[in-house]
Amino acid sequence: MTINDIQNSIIDEFGVFDDWMDRYQQLIDMGRELPPIDAKHRTEQYLIQGCQSKVWLDAELTDEGTVRFTADSDAIITKGIVALLVRVLSGQKPQDILDAELYFIDRIGLRENLSPTRSNGLLAMVKQMRMYAMAFQAKMS
């Protein structure tokens, strides 16, 4: 599936919720399902510093030329959003990641989580994912 296919199916999944609590419950459940990052990666080196909740991110380039992201957070709602980002961008080609426009965050009503006022490290996480993609892209060409 392309990045936009995945984004669209997430938008559909969240479309059924008209209550904030249901939306958050869904995020929490997704956060729980995200495989935890390898304990050896839950360190300063992989940490994306937010003011309040921590986010850890790692990436590797697969033999198929796609990027595999693994991530984690110490706050469960943040982890849910992290899980969504991983679902959208993991398994994609570096160039596609660089070209992607992440509209789903806004469409499912979570835009505030990616604004600089929310000091949860998510904005930095998206930047970091793009940085990895950029580095892998450079390595491949």
Partner 1 sequence: MTTISTAYSASIFDVERFRRDFPILQREVYGRPLVYLDNGATTQKPLPVLQTIERFHNQINANIHRGVHRLSAESTEEYERARATVQSYINAKHSHEVIFTAGATASINLVANAFGDAFVHQGDEIIVSEMEHHSNLVPWQMLCQRKGAHLRVWRFNDQGELNLDQLATLMGKRTKLLAITHVSNTLGTVNPIAKAIQIAHEHGVAVMVDGAQGIKHGKVDVQHLDADFYAFSGHKIYGPTGIGVLYGKEQWLSQMPPWQGGGDMVATVTLERTTYNELPFKFEAGTSNYIGAAGLAAALDYYSAVGPDAATAHEEQLLRYATQQLQTIEGVRIIGNAEHKTAIVSFVQQGVHPYDTGMILDKMGVAVRTGNHCTQPTVDHFGLPGTVRASFAFYNTMAEVDRLVEAVQRAKQMTA
Positions marked active-site: 51
How far is residue 30 CA from its own chain's centroid?
A: 12
Q: Which of 74, 103, 115, 127 touches partner 1 by CB under 8 A?
A: 74
Instruction: Tell me which of 16, 39, 51, 138 binds partner 1, using CB under 8 A.
Output: 51
Instruction: Report d(CA 39, CA 46) in Å as an integer.
Output: 11
Identify any residues that bridge with 47 across adjacent strands, giving them in sequence order: 56
CB of 120 to partner 1, least distance (A): 7
In whole angstroms, give the CA distance from residue 90 to residue 97: 9
Which of 20, 39, 101, 117 forms a contact with partner 1 (CB under 8 A)? 20
Q: Which residues bind partner 1 (CB under 8 A)?
A: 20-21, 24-25, 28, 51-54, 74-78, 119-120
